Structure 1
């Protein structure tokens, strides 16, 4: 079997989106482009090294883009590409499912 025949887009998408913090990053960037620290505050609880790793991977995959706003002090801005914005329906579907089937625990 060649590589194209063995590629499963569902498997590949789940592998990417199941990584911890990935959907949180996408959700935060759906609201607005953000700098690194602003993004870290928006998603909460993710350490800087993990956030940098996720952002790098998502950038390489073309889901987000990184703009260097300044070198001194270093400032970057992250935003979603067309591929990233297309995940809005996925996030909305997860929200709808959560609202319908999950209840807040007291």
Structure 2
């Protein structure tokens, strides 16, 4: 079976449960912890690199750079360079990136709401002698 997009380009039927399905790349991107946190940060509007790094504590400069480049390649983030001295660079979510905010916010909210249950489960599991 073939699916078509608005540009009428034929795409294979996508099923992320099948090994080798290209849609897994999408899940890898949006399921990455750094992506979740960066999209959450950018959901409030454009940010400079240093602002994102301060907001997403624990991310290395290298990982932030790689993740932003990946998000830009995926069309979820735009990078704008302003001709100023010193140069100013801002990152902003595209329409596609903004469409991720609600589902990722739901995951964030779920993780906060259920943290206590999970922490209890972790302690119980870890206390069992193996």
1:89 matched residue in structure 2: 102
1:39 matched residue in structure 2: 52
If asked which structure has higher relative contact order (CA below 8 Å, sep 6+), I would say 1
Superposed CA RMSD in Å reads 2.6
Structure 2: give runs of 5+ residues left out of the alignment: 3-10, 17-21, 120-130
Structure 1: give runs of 5+ residues left out of the alignment: none
| TM-score, normalised by the number of residues in structure 1 | 0.81
My pick for the range that moved more, 93-102 or 76-85, is 93-102
| TM-score, normalised by the number of residues in structure 2 | 0.68
1:24 matched residue in structure 2: 37
SS at match of 1:103: helix
Q: How has the CA–CA distance of structure 1 residues 82 and 6 changed in structure 2, closer, same or farther, with 3 Å as cutoff?
A: closer
Instruction: Tell me, yes or no, if the aligned pair for 1:35 and 1:77 is still in contact at 8 Å.
Output: yes
Aligned residue-pair number: 105
Q: State the alpha-carbon separation in 1 of the partners of residues 61 and 84 from structure 2.
A: 19
The higher radius of gyration belongs to 2
